[in-house]
Structure formats: C-alpha cells, structure tokens
Amino acid sequence: MAHRVRKAIFPVGGMGTRFLPATKAMPKEMLPVVDRPLIQYAVDEARAAGIEQFIFVTGRGKSAIEDHFDHSIELENLLEARNKVDALADLRETLLPPGNIAYVRQQEPLGLGHAVWCARNLVGDEPFAVLLADDLIQADTPCLKQMADVFAEKGGNVIAAMEVPDEHTSRYGIIDAGGASGDVRPVKGLVEKPQAGSAPSNLAVIGRYILMPEVFEELGRQEKGAGGEIQLTDAMARLIDRQPFHGVAFQGTRFDCGDKLGFLEANIAFAMEHEDLGPGARDMIDRLAGDAS
C-alpha cells in the first residue's frame, strides 16, 4: 500500500522580529503576497498534496489567523446582497472543512522543534507534514505534492532541499547526501547552521517536511541546539540511521518571506504571474527599472 500523509502542522508561533513594526499587532503569516496572506498559500499547497487535517501551532497575538480561516457571516451577507459573486467565491475558498482545523498554543517561542512538538497529541502515531508559511514556493506542481509523491513510494522522512551559495550555508540546516546527485537523495547527515567552511554540502533544508511520528520522542528531550533554540533539525538527525530519510531537490522557486528583500521579491514574482495583474505589473517594473537607470 502506498504511504499517505493526512495531517499537516503549520508552526506560526514565531515573533517575526525582522518585520517589526509591521508585525507588532499582526502575525507575520498574515502579510499578503499580492492578494492573499502567506498562510493561505501554505494551506493551499497542503490541500493540493492531499492533506485533510490542518494543525496550527500559534502564539500570543495570532488570532487573525483563526479569523481568516473562519466564516465571516456579515461580510458574506454583504457581498451576497451586493452581488459580488467573484469576491464571495474567493472568500469561501479560504474556508477549511469544519472539524478539520485545530489550534494549539506554543506558550513560549522556544524554537521550531518545540513548536512542532506542541502538536504531538493532535498528530498521534502517524506520519505528518510541516509547512513554514514564510517559505513561499512558486512551482507548477506544488512542492509538498512533489514530496508526497516521493513519500508514497519510499515512506520514511522526506524533506525539501535546495542548493544555496557557499556563503549562505550558515543560515540553514544543511544535508549531507554522501555526494549523491539527482532529485531524490538519501540523507546521511544533517547539521543546523554550520559554521562557515564546515558545511557538509550546499544542500539546504527549507520549510517543507514529511516526518515520521518518532521525531516527537526526539523532540521530547527538549535539548537546545543552535541559537539556544529547540531545533527540528537536531531531532530529525537522530532518525537518520533508524528510518528511510530522503531530501527532495524540488522543482520550483522558493522565496524567503521571513526576510524583507525575499518578501519583496515574492510580491514582484507573484504579481508578474498573476492572471489579472501580470501585464500591469510587468509594465510597472519596466518603468521603475527605466527610471532607476
């Protein structure tokens, strides 16, 4: 039987300090790229990969995310009364099926590993996906779907991987793939934010994971890693010799929307591809580039 993943965790408990003051009263995950919040892209990607249950690990000040995925009766009534059919359809598409969405609070932002561990009782004893909304991926086949296809065949742990320049390896979790090439590579080792010059490769882990539930036991040790945070990478590394573990060099472009320039680039790239806005956006970019030169 093919392996299947039904549940996804969306860790949204971070502080978003790099976007202050924009994120003082609004979660980073609600920042819009063109016309939809970052978290909506992540949820849509999960839906496209067959995910049925959506678990958000939230923190203080994140209630806008709960409101976003809920009915807004007044707004829907108003749009219906004004016959704004398209806007109403867009709004209804954001909804998730009742009972298939859950929220759990990460009381302290102790790191990504800790956020994932906070969802352990809701996930239970089955494989699950993790999506970080600030990694936005533009792809013909959604990134998590590409990974779910690999998971269906191979099982075990599957993480998204991307080549990065030498000078950037110290910003990421880095994969030791034992020199293998190709789209699907065995993971032989993982190291979080290696010091300059000590990275085992240029293959970085980005914010998409399909993990086996045993990772919760490892996270339960609550050991602090790089930056004094409980790191998901460290817990995953302990599964490598016990379970199948693969990195998928996915097809697509990833934008780091946790960073201002990355966020700006994502807005430009998505606007250029947008059905209605694309031509206008391209003209605008040509005009601004012309003015600047």
8 A C-beta contact, residue 19 and residue 28: yes
Q: For the CB of residue 12, give the shortest distance to ligand UTP in the complex, in Å.
A: 5
Among 106, 146, 157, 231, binds ligand UTP (CB under 6 A): 106
Q: For the CB of residue 193, give the shortest distance to ligand UTP in the complex, in Å.
A: 11
Examine residue 13 and tell whether it contacts ligand UTP (CB under 6 A).
yes
Which DSSP category does 69 fall into? T
Helix, strand and coil in the chain, % to nearest 5: 40, 20, 40
Examine residue 12 and tell whether it contacts ligand UTP (CB under 6 A).
yes
Among 9, 55, 129, 132, binds ligand UTP (CB under 6 A): 132
Interacting stretch for ligand UTP, rule CB under 6 A, among 8-16, 140-148, 158-166, 185-193? 8-16
Examine residue 14 and tell whether it contacts ligand UTP (CB under 6 A).
yes
Helical segments of 106-250, H only: 112-117, 120-123, 143-154, 215-219, 232-237
Q: Considering the complex, state which of residue 27 and residue 79 has its C-beta at the smaller distance from ligand UTP.
A: 27
| Site for ligand UTP, residues 50 to 79, rule: CB under 6 A | 57
Interacting stretch for ligand UTP, rule CB under 6 A, among 10-18, 33-41, 192-200, 260-268? 10-18
Within 10 angstroms of residue 103's Cβ, the number of other Cβ atoms is 18
The letter for the amino acid at 46 is A
CA-CA distance, 258 to 174, in Å (whole number)?
19
Examine residue 193 and tell whether it contacts ligand UTP (CB under 6 A).
no
Q: Which two tokens stand for residue 111?
A: 């790191």
**How many residues sit close enough to ligand UTP to count as binding (CB under 6 A)?**
21
8 A C-beta contact, residue 114 and residue 222: yes
Examine residue 16 and tell whether it contacts ligand UTP (CB under 6 A).
yes
Examine residue 247 and tell whether it contacts ligand UTP (CB under 6 A).
no
Among 136, 258, 267, 271, binds ligand UTP (CB under 6 A): 258
CA-CA distance, 136 to 229, in Å (whole number)?
23
Examine residue 112 and tell whether it contacts ligand UTP (CB under 6 A).
yes
Q: Is the dihedral of CA 279, 281, 283, 285 positive or negative?
A: negative
Q: Shortest CA distance to 177 belongs to which of 129, 87, 242, 249?
A: 249
Nearest position to ligand UTP, beta carbon = 14
8 A C-beta contact, residue 191 and residue 237: yes
Report cis status (omega within 30 of 0) of the bond before 21: yes
Q: Considering the complex, state which of residue 176 and residue 192 has its C-beta at the smaller distance from ligand UTP.
A: 192
Interacting stretch for ligand UTP, rule CB under 6 A, among 107-115, 182-190, 198-206, 217-225? 107-115
Give the footprint of ligand UTP on this chain (CB under 6 A). 11-18, 28, 57, 106, 109-112, 114-115, 132-134, 258
